[in-house]
Structure 1
Amino acid sequence: MKNKELGMNKLIKKTLRLILPIVLGGFILYWVYRGFDFTKALDVLTHGTKWGWMFFSLLFGVMAQVIRGWRWKQTLEPLEAFPKTSNCINAIFVSYAASLIIPRMGEVSRCGILKRYDHISFAKSLGTVVTERLVDMLCIVLVTGATVSLQLPVFTTFLEQTGTKIPSLLHLLTSVWFYIILLCVLGVLLLIYYLLRTLSFFERVKGVVLHVWEGVMSLRNVKNIPLFITYTLLIWLSYFIHFYLTFFCFSFTEHLSVLAALVMFVGGTFAVIVPTPNGAGPWHFAIISMMMLYGVNATDAAIFALIVHGIQTFLVVLLGIYGMASLSFVNRTKKISTQ
């Protein structure tokens, strides 16, 4: 009876982990797009999108994930782990797709892939993923600091309009945008809660934390630090270009500057931290709100966010399918050749 109750509790928790991010993202999307005429977005998609620019943008989206795979392999080498380069890249492809189903599941799935195909310690590879996230967090902080200093008036206006600036606190209860931001914050707190629960589980497993820490500290022994830094810069540059080039896909955004793109890129980066599938909902809210500050009307901004997010998410799905197929084919071929 007790085992049955434990099993039921685990099932409920897994179900909530799957459903809550979708519900959160869906609610925010509903609120942002309530009353929106989706036929206008369809018309722009079929007749008003410059697909040459869109495909050019997608190339940089692919490149960012490929370089991330190269960098991950570099951080594994100090641990005497030498996975196939293709396995690292394909694991990255699959991890992004997995996170569409359960946010942040990608970090776990890619470590599992290397354990399966290259027999690399799951705990150690998880440690290198933690290191990567810390490095990426540092990059986000640096980019955000530079962007805020260059476009401070824009950020100030954004905070005023969303009711999150200190002088506007009296109007919070009447601000729709505030409630959206509040939901996003609660989502992040929920994610942190699950991460802490996961960590407490690892602490109960003897030796696992030690292996994770060994993976975290692998960065100290990376042979070519300049190459690691170059990979990191190229990853974030690719992410930015991936986003910026989408401005040239539409007549109503092609006039926007690089600084405008940088502001929205920073806003979108923080939005995807919220545990919804690919940042759906919070990302749309951030991009639409900031794009309107640069003179784009609400309808066009909503169309931009809907089309760009949809196409970029579709790319993630395609790469995930390719990654799964490639992992199976390449490693099966390798197994046959060694027999």
Structure 2
Amino acid sequence: MERSDSKKLLNKLWQVFLPVILGAAILVWTYKGFDFKRVWSVLNSEVNYWWMLFSLVFGVFGHLFRGWRWNLSLAPLGEYPKPANSVYAIFVSYAANLVIPRIGEVSRCGILAKYEGVSFSKSLGTVVTERIIDSLCVLIITFVTLLLQSGIFARFMKETGTDTSFIFHLFTSTNFYITLACIFSFLILLYFLFKRISVFAKVKGILNDIWLGCQSLRHVDNIALFVAYTLGIWICYFLQFYVAFFSFDFSSDLGLIPGLVMFVVGSIAVVVPTPNGAGPWHFAVITMMMMYGVSKDDAGIFALLVHGIQTFLLILLGIYGLVALPLTNKQNKPINS
């Protein structure tokens, strides 16, 4: 019994610390030799905070659209949570991902189960469907961007050691080992997540409900609104990133297409299981930004400050969601047990 408990504890510690260690290692390597004193100078006198705050507005609306879209997915399953609860669950889930990457997908289902009596397994199925749709959106955006900027992507692949013409030099490329470590860590975290879900499914016998949740999209009443929310989510995500360009003199003239390119590589980088993509996101954005003529120091400052401020927003929204949920549902009881 003690051995089993120790194994569970080690697994949990592994899930928490592996992403942190990986992210920290990539950050240390990316910012090796970086002058951090310059960051304070930029913060004090070189940031247009109005543009930065404006960019965060789009981040909030992206979460709102995601919460409202989730309600559309749940309705065909006979689940009708209050829109506010769905949005608060989204807020909390993104904050939870900062602690354990990918745990937010599970935690938001647990929140609706607690406050609305929504079937955990069914809502989990809708989340799986959401992730498939989001992956398709990233693929479409990436394909369009590749067509527009194929040359810059070819250079990016060379810079990161992933160009096939450099196959014989891979084992001497630090970038290659970073990429390999990211992929390996992602597979490990994915294994733990599916293991947790599969064990829960065996105990509760909910695999059928998860499948029903996955099929919910087929029966959404207002598919046009679902598509509109999906477009709204990704437009807001892009604008949150792009509008931040105008917060700094060195990035304000980069333009829409470079912004789209950097958004794509950043979106792919956050797939790696580190807290809010810390490390891989910085590495990808800095590398791509340098290809558009921004100095390494300026690119490093942009990535550090933008990512830090956006992460702080997630923390604030998560805290707000945790506080608002019990207050909003003080006199409400779950419909189902």
TM superposition score category, shorter chain reference: over 0.9
4+ runs deviating over 4 angstroms: none
**Residues 51/333 of structure 1: CA separation in 2 closer, same or farther (3 Å cut):** farther
Q: After superposition, give the CA deviation of every residue in 1:225-281 in whole Å (9 maximum; x if it has no partner).
A: 000000000100000000000100000000101110111101000111100000000
The answer for the alignment partner of 2:89 in structure 1 is 91
Q: After superposition, give the CA deviation of every residue in 1:1-26 in whole Å (9 maximum; x if it has no partner).
A: xx111011000100111111100000
The answer for the alignment partner of 1:285 in structure 2 is 283
RMSD (CA atoms): 1.1
Task: Say whether residues 1:219 and 2:217 are aligned partners.
Answer: yes
The answer for the alignment partner of 2:45 in structure 1 is 47
Q: Which moved more, 1:16-25 or 1:188-197?
A: 188-197
Q: After superposition, give the CA deviation of every residue in 1:22-72 in whole Å (9 maximum; x if it has no partner).
A: 000000001001111111011111210001100100000000001100000
What is the distance in 2 between the residues matched to 1:52 and 1:196? 42
Task: Say whether residues 1:73 and 2:71 are aligned partners.
Answer: yes
Q: Is the 8 A contact 2:115 2:329 kept in 1?
A: yes
Q: Is the 8 A contact 1:65 1:89 kept in 2?
A: yes
Following superposition, the deviation at residue 174 of structure 1 comes to 2.5
Following superposition, the deviation at residue 206 of structure 1 comes to 5.4
Alignment of 1:206-285 (within 5 A): 207-285=205-283
The answer for the alignment partner of 1:172 in structure 2 is 170
Alignment of 1:138-149 (within 5 A): 138-149=136-147
Identity of aligned residues (%): 53
Task: Say whether residues 1:137 and 2:115 are aligned partners.
Answer: no
Q: Is the 8 A contact 1:202 1:209 kept in 2?
A: no
Following superposition, the deviation at residue 173 of structure 1 comes to 2.6
Unaligned 5+ runs, structure 1: none
State how many pairs are aligned: 333
Q: Which amino acid is 1:265 matched to?
A: F
| SS of 2:254 mapped into structure 1 | coil
Correspondence for 2:325 among 314, 322, 327: 327
Task: Say whether residues 1:294 and 2:260 are aligned partners.
Answer: no
Q: Is the 8 A contact 1:154 1:293 kept in 2?
A: yes
Correspondence for 2:187 among 183, 186, 189: 189
Q: Is the 8 A contact 2:15 2:192 kept in 1?
A: no
What is the distance in 1 between the residues matched to 2:263 and 2:2? 47
Q: TM-score, normalised by structure 2?
A: 0.97
| SS of 2:252 mapped into structure 1 | coil
| SS of 1:205 mapped into structure 2 | helix
